[in-house]
Amino acid sequence: MTLESRIELIAEKARYWFNVENTSLIEAATRTYKEGFFPKSDVLYAIQCLKDSVSKEALSAWVAKAGVSKNTSEDKKVLCLHAGNLPLVGFQDVLAALLSGYDYYGKISRKDPYLLPDFLDQFNGTPLESHIHPDTDLQAFRGVKANAVTFSGSESSIPEVMEVVKAGNMADDNCRYLIRKAHFSITYFDDFTSENSENLVNALLRYDGKGCRSVAIVVSPLKLGKISCTFTDYFESYWTKNPTHRKPSPGIKYRYAYNKAVQKVQMFLEHVIIEESIDPVPANDDIIYWVHGGLDKMVELSDKFGDQVQNLYVCSEKLRIPGYQEKTELLSRAQCPFINWKPDGIDILKWLFAVSSEQR
Amino acid sequence: MNNLVHTILEEELPFGEKVFQVFRYQFEKNLIYQRFCEALRIKPEDIRHAGDIPLLPIDAFKEGRVVTGEWDKEELMFQSSGTSGSVRSHHYVRYATVYRDSLLKGFNHFYDLSDFVFWGYTPGYADNPHSSLIWMINELIRYDDSGLSRFLHLNETLNIAEIDKLKRSGKRLMLFGAAFGLIDLVQRKSVSLPEDAIVMETGGMKTHRREMSRADLHKNLADGFALPMDHIHSEYGMTELLSQAYARGTEWFDTPPWMKISIRNPVNPLMELADGNEGLIGILDLSNIYSCSFILTGDAGEKRPDGTFKVNGRWQKTNLRGCNFLIDRD
């Protein structure tokens, strides 16, 4: 297939799949939230965001921006080990694999078992069908000898994953690995309009803060104590519209008590604590740090956390974080990125083509 | 001085009795700890076992003045080491004698103080008056009246003539040093220490440049100093504690009678874990009578039924944000 025909086919299948009357998507989405994998509001939000970001024009623009040539990589295989921390988290990797012409081998997360497979079913009966191999069992990929492997991991989980992939002969000897390590994002919040405040709350709480695009640290010229009362209303409004499945962790009460003990300013929101901090250490997704400071503080924290940080958000298009232009995005796009966003700063499509060219 | 302080180090009095007295005292007189317990809705009468006592996260020593009683003049103030820009712990010690007694009695509980000459391969006390470790080594050096105990100069190699003199004195050598300091010392020049010498490493297996397991460290030190493995000991102490635990040739640390370990569930630190399970190391150190005796560290470890414990490094926070691929638990 030519690149143009791939774009055409993928855009058409996506358009159909995202259609509000698509009963198979409705069923996959319903099962996903009814079986408790994710809250209904998060499932619908993820679907809507992807729907808005995938079109023939968007895919063509992505391909062009990635500098992809007309040649595709039809003799190559990519093994994608999808995380399951939010609904459809592997969707971008799937599109990149299909656009690039790789044979797609996808380890579907058991925490999100319906949505991605349902999308992939759309390609049954098309020229791409024989190139698509999803499975929830990693062992199904034994002997695949992929040329490229993508997955997300922490420092501690990477060796374990690599060992399983190598032991199962799932990767070729010259295989290239794309390992995403970013865990969280930071926002600079200096403009307290109602719209920005809603965007901030969405960036903090959407998907229970589990995505790497979710904000774990807020840097603001205003102290938390000054705005906490106003913000409580935004949080309540968010939870009314987006009820969470999450139960408060036992550790959160402990953290609350500790903050009370050292008289740290905090907002205790039952599932989440927002606390004022001068030395934040993002680890748990139920603690959000509010750091009093300016752009220099943003730079300091970005330097400190390095590749753990996915994005730096700002409220205004005009603002850029010095030294981090590439990572800077609008806060309003935190949970709803363009289809060509770059996890860990790497364009997956460009990367796949580079691997393919290298191994040709 | 509070009357309790005279009894906490008494080995005849059972720990179980003293710990409740100290808990009640600190609940009443330590504002930080009191607020902590009240926010957890825990009152002294709720505590049935030592394992029920809430442990204050050790970061409180960075974020507050953790003191019990009404006083603002301390005899000693210890400060943790740290990189520039990082927030350091501060331990305000009301009476130096409490730390001194705890150190010397604790040491004597496991070793015979009068047997030893002490060498400290660390920066000297004059340069580091706020290091609790160096204060401790300085006290041990002061205790020995042979004139042979001292801080070694960093970057110097061990002096054979001095070792011979030490052998002739009839005393044993105990060489204190941080993990990589001692490694540097043996790498500079391997020297056979007297066969009855003890090397006491004080931790620091991970720096920004290097990392080594405790087992590898001990092997390197034993080889470098020509000592049997069981003469390489470890000390577990920290700025926030006035007592020390010692591992004498094994990986298991012993505590003095006024210090106990409680391994806590990292997800819910109010819950004590059964022996043999790995969790966060919690410490009940009664010699911290004027600061806080009930501390939750950031170290991972496990305990055995005999009360000894093992340190497994820093607790790795597994519930990281982002898309961790947990292959087994997916």
Q: How far, in Å, CA of B261 to CA of B51, rounded?
A: 9
pLDDT of residue A158: 80
Residue among A214, A249, A263 minimizing CB distance to B321: A214
- Position of tokens 């009362």? A229
Q: How far, in Å, CA of A297 to CA of B217, rounded?
A: 39
CB B171 within 8 A of CB B194: no
Two structure tokens written together for A194: 């109602």
Confidence of residue A70 (pLDDT cuts 50, 70, 90): low
Query: β-strands A132-135, A328-330: how paired?
Result: unpaired
Two structure tokens written together for B20: 């409740």
Confidence of residue B85 (pLDDT cuts 50, 70, 90): low
Residue among B37, B270, B324 minimizing CB distance to A157: B324
pLDDT of residue A360: 65
Nearest CA in chain B to A110: B330
For residue A180, list chain B residues with Cβ-Cβ distance below 8 A: 322-323
- Position of tokens 């023939």? A56
Confidence of residue B289 (pLDDT cuts 50, 70, 90): very high
CB A312 within 8 A of CB A329: yes
For residue A279, list chain B residues with Cβ-Cβ distance below 8 A: 62, 86-87
Residue among A161, A249, A284 minimizing CB distance to B325: A161
Residue among B62, B324, B327 minimizing CB distance to A138: B327
Whether residue B324 is predicted with pLDDT greater than 70 in this model: the reply is no
C-alpha B173: how far from chain center:
21
Give the side-chain half-sphere CA count within 13 A for A238: 24
Cα angle A22-A25-A29, degrees, rounded to a multiple of 5: 140
CB A196 within 8 A of CB A189: yes
- Position of tokens 């000693």? B76
Q: How far, in Å, CA of A222 to CA of A200, rounded?
A: 14
Contact B60 A156 (CB under 8 A): no
Average pLDDT over residues A13-32: 96
Residue among A152, A250, A285 minimizing CB distance to B325: A152
Q: How far, in Å, CA of B143 to CA of B147, rounded?
A: 10
In A, residues 196-215, which contact B (CB 8 Å cutoff)? 209-212, 214
Residue B268 Cα, gap to closest chain A Cα (Å): 5
Contact B316 A153 (CB under 8 A): no
Helix spans in chain B (H)? 15-29, 31-39, 60-63, 96-110, 132-143, 160-168, 179-188, 214-225
C-beta pairs of B212-217 under 8 Å, 24+ apart in sequence:
B212/B179, B212/B180, B212/B183, B214/B251, B214/B311, B215/B251, B217/B179, B217/B183
Whether residue B323 is predicted with pLDDT greater than 80 in this model: the reply is no
Interface of B with A (CB under 8 A): 32-33, 35-40, 54, 56-57, 59-60, 62-64, 86-87, 266-271, 316-328, 330
Q: How far, in Å, CA of B112 to CA of B198, rounded?
A: 12
Whether residue B319 is predicted with pLDDT greater than 50 in this model: the reply is no
Confidence of residue B188 (pLDDT cuts 50, 70, 90): confident
Q: Give percent of chain B above pLDDT 70.
A: 93
What are the extents of the domains in chain A?
A: 3-181, 184-333
The topology (CATH level 3) of A184-333 is: Aldehyde Dehydrogenase; Chain A, domain 2 (3.40.309)
B88-145 confidence digits (pLDDT tens): 999 999 999 999 999 999 999 999 999 999 999 998 878 888 999 999 999 999 999 9
Residue B19 Cα, gap to closest chain A Cα (Å): 21
C-alpha B319: how far from chain center:
28
Q: How far, in Å, CA of B248 to CA of A190, rounded?
A: 56
Nearest CA in chain A to B316: A156
Domain A3-181 has CATH 1.10.760.10: no
Contact residues for B261 (Cβ-Cβ < 8 A; gap 6+) = B245, B255, B281, B282, B283, B284, B301, B303, B307, B309
Contact B36 A263 (CB under 8 A): no
Residue B212 Cα, gap to closest chain A Cα (Å): 16
C-beta pairs of B102-105 under 8 Å, 24+ apart in sequence:
B102/B9, B102/B242, B102/B243, B102/B256, B102/B258, B102/B287, B103/B136, B103/B139, B103/B140, B103/B242, B103/B243, B103/B244, B104/B139, B104/B143, B105/B9, B105/B256
CB A317 within 8 A of CB A330: yes
Q: How far, in Å, CA of A197 to CA of B315, rounded?
A: 35
A332-360 confidence digits (pLDDT tens): 999 999 999 999 999 999 999 999 887 76
Q: End-to-end alpha-carbon separation of chain B, Å? A: 57
Q: How far, in Å, CA of A90 to CA of A107, rounded?
A: 10
> In this structure, what are the phi and psi dihedrals at residue A309, rounded to the nearest 5 degrees?
-95, 125
Predicted structure pTM score: 0.89
B117-128 confidence digits (pLDDT tens): 999 999 887 888
pLDDT of residue A303: 95
pLDDT of residue A292: 96
Cα four-point dihedral sign A50, A55, A58, A59:
positive
Nearest CA in chain A to B266: A251
Contact A212 B268 (CB under 8 A): no
Whether residue A72 is predicted with pLDDT greater than 70 in this model: the reply is no
For residue B270, list chain A residues with Cβ-Cβ distance below 8 A: 250, 254
Burial class, A170, CB count within 10 angstroms (exposed 0-12 / middle 13-18 / buried 19+): buried
Query: β-strands B90-93, B76-79: how paired?
Result: antiparallel
C-alpha A312: how far from chain center:
14
CA-wise closest residue to B69 among B238, B282, B293: B293
Contact B320 A154 (CB under 8 A): yes
Whether residue B2 is predicted with pLDDT greater than 80 in this model: the reply is no
CB B194 within 8 A of CB B172: yes
Two structure tokens written together for A173: 């000897």
Strand partners, B283: B261, B295
Strand partners, B294: B284
Contact A254 B317 (CB under 8 A): no
Give the per-residue SS3 of chain A.
CCHHHHHHHHHHHHHHHCCCCCHHHHHHHHHHHHCCCCCHHHHHHHHHHHHHHCCHHHHHHHHHHCCCCCCCCCCCEEEEECCCCCCCCCHHHHHHHHHHCCEEEEECCCCCCCHHHHHHHCCCCCCCHHHEEEECCHHHHCCCCEEEEEEECCCCCHHHHHHHHHHCCCEEEEEEEEEECCCEEEEECCCCCHHHHHHHHHHHHHHHHCCCCCEEEEEECCCHHHHHHHHHHHHHHHHHHCCCCCCCCHHHHHHHHHHHHCCCCEEECCCCEEEECCCCCCCCCCEEEEEECCHHHHHHHHHHHHHHEEEEEECCCCCCCCCCHHHEEEHHHCCCCCCCCCHHHCCHHHHHHHHHHHHC
pLDDT mean across residues, chain B: 91
CB B27 within 8 A of CB B33: yes
Contact A211 B35 (CB under 8 A): no
Residue A305 Cα, gap to closest chain B Cα (Å): 13
Average pLDDT over residues B208-219: 81
pLDDT of residue B84: 59
DSSP string, B174-200: EEEE-HHHHHHHHHH---PPPTT-EEE
Stronger pLDDT, B2 or A67, i.e. the higher one: A67
For residue A251, list chain B residues with Cβ-Cβ distance below 8 A: 266-269
Q: How far, in Å, CA of B197 to CA of B137, rounded?
A: 16
Query: β-strands A132-135, A146-152: how paired?
Result: unpaired
Q: Which amino acid is at B288?
A: N
Q: Does A263 touch chain B (CB under 8 A)?
A: yes
pLDDT of residue A253: 93
A212-216, B2-6, B44-48, B169-173: which has the minimum mean pLDDT? B2-6
For residue B64, list chain A residues with Cβ-Cβ distance below 8 A: 261-263
Whether residue B320 is predicted with pLDDT greater than 60 in this model: the reply is no
For residue B315, list chain A residues with Cβ-Cβ distance below 8 A: none
Cβ pairs A/B, distance under 8 A: 117
Contact A156 B318 (CB under 8 A): yes
